[in-house]
Structure 1
């Protein structure tokens, strides 16, 4: 059930994390598309305004030129009445008559062909004005009037003024006809067009590089920026210089080479925050998952440790109990030789249990940094020889051999005699313990730069790649079938690692399953 719950928890956490990442990706894509649509909308406004401004500016220049010409000729224009409008209204109750008249007068100006650089014949441009009169007659004065008598209105209101609407309409029609026949280079320049586009872009908050060009019937013209290149995804177009029929042979194209970069820059701050928070969640998730897995491993390792410790204590305790029962036996208590043998057995088993307890306490003190390590100048070869003496009895019991190959010429190192001897002893005991056949151990020393290298090679079981990474962890032991078939608690190599680290050295292992292991210790020399 615990394993199922653990797997379900990991699955749910993983799905949640993946969901958060997918939501972030979806949000980013959606925001990018929204920004792209907003960009497109603003650019359409910009080029629409530019097209309108181009048309207005061109028409204004044309009007201004016409007006200057009219003012400079000094000719009196010819006037024609082109429309007269009358309106009469009589109120029978009050006998009041209202007569309204409106006369539209045109002023004709003849423009010589030289004004148009001889591209056109003589053109006529007109100004329109109106004269509006309102007359009011009371008391049937109109009915009483007879013969050639003139009638004077009781009220007369007279107004005159220009008809700007007609003027503008005529000017626009004429201007479009005249200007449409002119070459594009005379109607607009690249510099003017660039300023217009730049101004509009700045007003709409679009601060990115742009290029532009005007095309005529899908062919490029000379009016363009130096680096203009058509890009389907980043180019926007609009007709310019529309004629009186509502069509145009020119299109203004504006492209943005850094469009994607500009759109991303608007999202960069919120995107960075999103990535940071996602990374925090990812790190927290990884850490939590790692802690969960590690807690499971520690739980399994501790159970393994307790089982091994129990097993190892049960054997000496059982041996001591049997020895005590034997001593109490009346047949044996009088046999001095047997009593002494059983007492020695009790002493050895007690010593063995004491050693196991000391090993656990030693690691505990190392973790609490309560273990005093006083170092002195020593010869590495002497320490190795002392360690070999400590394991000689165990080695003889297994009929094994240790061969020394001392190749190091410089061997003076700052060491703690007791602890570093224990380091070598632990490695040698492991080499003997994990050798299923007769143990054959080789110890090598050599100098590499300012280091002395110690290698302990055995012909034991070897270990997997996973075990090589974790072999120096506290309580870790690689299983070799039966959990109790090799004595130990997984504390010896953790102790080795800690002592070597305290001597500013390094320890690691090279091994292959079924081909033995080589433990390598590197220590700094005293110059």
Structure 2
């Protein structure tokens, strides 16, 4: 896959993912907004019912009080004149309310010439306040006539006038009383709770009644303050002049949880789908990048393998051509030397192939690693002897610093020896000039540690994260100045993992590297 095509696919997949997530978020926001609007409407309806119930109850109480007063004092007689004296004392505010009035009912019969057999009666009631009313009367069903067939007696008409007069006065009296004396906190709270439950809102709430000017009253729950963002307001009580006197405010501390609970099903389902989409996208992107990386690694491996095989094959061909020469064919010493050269190069190629096959078998668990008690100090000494000639050939040296008190572990001697050899060869490969390698050992209560330190070219942080990956080699373009296939350290990690140990590297570019292996003690 070309680089441009890979980038295009990643961009298209990213746009699709963002679009799908955006649509899901849009629908979630819509559902949330709809639920909030529904909640607001339910609360407003509940508060409207609360206001109406309080007003109706106050009206009924007022009617009852007036009827009791009229019943106790009696009604006006046929003379249609009555003196009233009514007094009420408010024990809370120490206020005394007195109503006194002389009510006079006067009827005026006015003839009309535009209606047949009809009469207009004007009624005037004089007292503390003047009220004027007129009635349109027709036929025998007249209201408020002075004939024997009238449906209401004078006493009944007088009672209606008195009731109306008292009602106006009582309303004036109520309007000057503090709101908390007209309704209790307990009654208001219960009424609000009842109306909310009718609309399936069973939440804790806080309330407060404020004047139209924004002043707080004693009618509230605790230390309530107006919350214009999360609260709900509704007109509560109107005055006798029709102007709004009070407003009722209600807030719900757990409103958001209640709203979210209402759409929790669709919300969780949407989040689940978004999570699945993100996981699928991430997995696909990871696989694309991984496959691209594997493709590059395989291409690099083939190039390296070709380069590694090219030299021994050329050497073998050269040796064979030399042996076929009649002059050399008669020289047994030269023939044996060329045969030894062919054997060494063949052995070298075999080792290269064996390294590849060994890693493959390890990954497939086709190699059984038998374990026994081994001394790691002995294994390190044996591994050093394997690479000693290479070290001397480059005029380098290996120094050992064995400080471990206990060096016996349960492991496979053959594979552990290869681990140390590979690590020493790696230090040798990446050292410039005469290599200087130090081997340190130490032990703890549970682990044996050995470190191989070199003063080579070192590696960057990026390379350190991938140095144990199979086939990985630091990219240097098409330059093959260091031999290998990137399998040595991958083999080291596989064997150490099989021994339940860990291996890691510390390095700095241009200052060398330290490879550390930690293995469990017996």
- Say if 1:524 and 1:109 are closer, same or farther in 2 by CA, change over 3 A: farther
Match of 2:506 among 507, 510, 513: 510
Match of 2:86 in 1: 113
Distance 1:512 1:300 in 2: 26
Displacement of 1:47 in angstroms is 1.7
TM-superposed deviation, 1:502: 0.9
Q: Is the contact made by 1:503 and 1:523 (CA closer than 8 Å) also made in structure 2?
A: yes
Partners of 1:286 and 1:109 in 2: CA distance: 94
1:43 aligns with 2:43: yes
Structure 1 residue matching 2:97: 3-state secondary structure: coil
Alpha-carbon offset, residue 252 of structure 1 = 2.2
Unaligned 5+ residue runs, structure 1?
A: 81-106, 136-157
Alignment CA distance shift 1:412-1:175 (3 Å): same
Whole-Å Cα distance in 2 between the matches of residues 509 and 488 of structure 1?
A: 19
Q: In structure 2, how many angstroms separate the alpha carbons of the residues matched to 1:295 and 1:252?
A: 67
CA contact (8 A) 2:439 2:450 kept: yes
Task: Classify 1:383/1:59 alpha carbon distance in 2 versus 1 (closer, same or farther; 3 Å).
Answer: same
Quote the Cα distance in structure 1 between the aligned partners of 2:316 and 2:141: 142
Q: Which residue of 2 aligns with 1:191?
A: 186
**1:289 Cα shift?**
1.0
8 Å Cα contact 1:427-1:493 kept in structure 2: yes
Matches within 5 A, 1:13-412: 13-73=13-73, 75=74, 77-78=76-77, 112-114=85-87, 119-122=97-100, 133=140, 160=151, 170=164, 176-216=171-211, 217-412=213-408
* Structure 1 contact 211–227 (Cα < 8 Å) conserved: no
What root-mean-square deviation, in Å, do the aligned CA atoms of Structure 1 and Structure 2 show?
3.1
Unaligned segments of structure 2, at least 5 residues: 91-95, 106-132, 143-148
TM-score, L = length of structure 1: 0.82
Shift in CA distance, 167/357, structure 1 to aligned 2, threshold 3 Å? farther
Provide the C-alpha distance between the structure 2 equivalents of 1:399 and 1:125, rounded to a whole number of angstroms.
Answer: 137
1:360 shift after superposition? 1.3
| Equivalent position SS for 1:436 | coil
Mapped to 2, the partners of 1:78 and 1:212 lie a distance apart of: 50
Deviation at 1:423, TM superposition (A): 0.5
Listed one character per residue, the Cα deviations across residues 382-412 of structure 1 (whole Å, up to 9, x for unaligned) are 0001101111222222222111111112111
State the Cα distance separating 1:246 from its structure 2 match: 1.4
Post-superposition CA distance 1:418-452 (Å, at most 9, x none): 11100001111111112121111111101123211
Matched with 1:93 is: none
Q: Secondary structure at the match of 1:113?
A: strand
Superposed CA deviations along residues 239-287 of structure 1, whole A, max 9, x for unmatched, are 3332343113222222334434443443444333322322222122112
Distance 2:484 2:83 in 1: 120
Q: 1:60 to 1:332 in 2, by over 3 A?
A: same
